[in-house]
Amino acid sequence: MKIERSAGTLLHITSLPGRYGIGTLGKEARDFAELLVRAGQSYWQVLPLGPVVPAFDYSPYASTSTFAGNPYFISLEEVAKKPWHGGPIDEENFLEDHFIDFDRVTLHKERELSRANELFFSSAKDEDLEAFEKFCQDERSWLGDYALFSALAEHYDTNNWLEWDSGAAMRDAAALEKWNMRLKDRASYHRFVQFLFFEQWNALRKHCNTLGIRLIGDIPIYINLEGADAWTNPDILQLDEKTKRPSAVAGVPPDYFSETGQRWGNPLYRWADRDGALLEKTYEWWKKRLRRLLSLVDVVRIDHFRAFESYWSIPAKEKTAVKGKWIKGPGTAFFERLRKDLGDIPIIAEDLGVITDEVRELRDGLRIPGMKVLQFAFDENSDNEYLPHNMEKSNCVVYTGTHDNNTINGWFYGIENDDERRKYILEYIGSEKFSDFHWQLIRTAYMTTARLAIVPAQDILGYGQEFRMNIPGTTGGNWRWKLRENEITPEMADKLKRLAAMYRR
């Protein structure tokens, strides 16, 4: 993938300002895209787009579907403009806050979307109903299964399909027919919500592209066991044939983020058939998955890219990730076949963590840009691959930090560094100024030879650690940060634009 020298901003959709407690695909998203233009930005990076659930702390990396969209993204204001709706929206008193109250947002949004669903099927004109039917037909390869899964999850009050009755859990044909009839209204509701999501998403993407802003999407390498994808496609996963439970699960060994590693708990893929060749079912599912996301964004960041070379397999009985082992992944053959089928896929490889020469060879052999995170650079080792002077010959995207990192200022001024380390960092970047460190590191990122420099919105604002998006290895309280209206000021945008122009971004 060829990226011209440029700059971008990382901000998830839910972190946009929002009148009803959460960011959406409405006016606030269009306004942000226009602010990016003023700031001299060319890319807007978001986190995964799929539905999220309270059981997994609303994490976008633990979605119930890799094909469906997140209903929280839907702008109620945009829905209320529809002729079949007529408005108004129930005016709850949502305070302007930096953190999302997901429980309250959920109740409000589901109530309003349920009302919209009733109004649509009672008041919509023929052309609107035909558009809905066309959407259902176009997306039939996943939409029906997802809608039924969601309805069943509501009925049983759990996304863990292994706790449903055996007919539904094991997808017995007669049982599915029975449940489709019994839950047809709720399944229809979930199809309608997806219709709204993709209508709004496609409109936002068109708006961004018209402005010259390209979208970077994010694809988690693994899927949830407690989701529609695993329920529909158990054969592509390392599950017991009878119980459908995993014997080993995904994660990463001990690293910078955790002394005991991270036990994610996702099921692992069955990459190879009995002869050691790439398993056709798994490949076709992945091709469908990538094709889908590439129809929604301009570039795909593949999370945990290193697992395509080797993945960390943890016995399911283990409580931590310490006693896992490395197992060979599908490697070059997988990507070469994808390129043959889908063309030159615009990919960024999330190649952080335990990276070996074999992983680098896979990445570089495929000419896929990797990631360089400046917060990982300053260990006083001049050979550190994240230091700017070592980026010269690498095909990479530089980040001040990611959704998993502390904010720049939270990291620099906090307990992750001491005074000696801070002196070294300032000496390296050529500064004696102890204040406004976030702008100094943004400037450093823009100065590098990396083709693309990405800065999280919190770092533009100079926020502290309390505003970080996620703390890996923890549950509770993550993924909730959001902007307040007009917080990124025109002056900040102009400053970014000057830096982008100065360093030819």
Q: Which helix (H) or strand (E) holds 370?
A: strand 370-373
Residues with catalytic annotation? 303, 350, 404
Q: The dihedral of CA 124, 125, 128, 131: what is its sign?
A: positive
Asked if 225 contacts 267 with a C-beta cutoff of 8 angstroms, the reply is: yes
β-pairing, 370-373 with 262-267? unpaired
Residue keyed to tokens 């490697």? 331
CA distance 199 to 136: 12
Q: Which helix (H) or strand (E) holds 387?
A: none
Q: Which amino acid is at 109?
A: K
CA distance 129 to 92: 30
Q: Which helix (H) or strand (E) holds 114?
A: helix 102-123
φ/ψ of 311, rounded to 5, equals -120, 150
CA distance 411 to 425: 12
User: CB neighbours of 158 closer than 8 A, spacing ≥ 6?
Assistant: 55, 164, 226
CA distance 199 to 138: 13
Q: Taking the CA of residue 269 as centre, how many other CA atoms within 13 Å lie in the half-sphere pointing to its CB?
A: 23
Tokens representing 220?
Answer: 């988690």
β-pairing, 262-267 with 248-252? antiparallel
Asked if 32 contacts 485 with a C-beta cutoff of 8 angstroms, the reply is: no
**Within 10 Å of residue 360's Cβ, how many Cβ atoms?**
16
Residue keyed to tokens 């964004």? 297
User: CA nearest 11: which of 209, 305, 218?
Assistant: 218
Q: Which helix (H) or strand (E) holds 205?
A: helix 184-211
Cα separations in angstroms, 479 against 21, 62, 149, 412, 471: 14, 12, 24, 22, 9
User: CA nearest 182: which of 220, 208, 156, 221?
Assistant: 156
For residue 88, say if its preceding peptide bond is cis, omega within 30 degrees of 0: yes
Q: The dihedral of CA 479, 481, 483, 489: what is its sign?
A: negative
Q: Which amino acid is at 42?
A: S
Asked if 37 contacts 43 with a C-beta cutoff of 8 angstroms, the reply is: no
User: CA nearest 398: which of 451, 345, 456, 459?
Assistant: 451
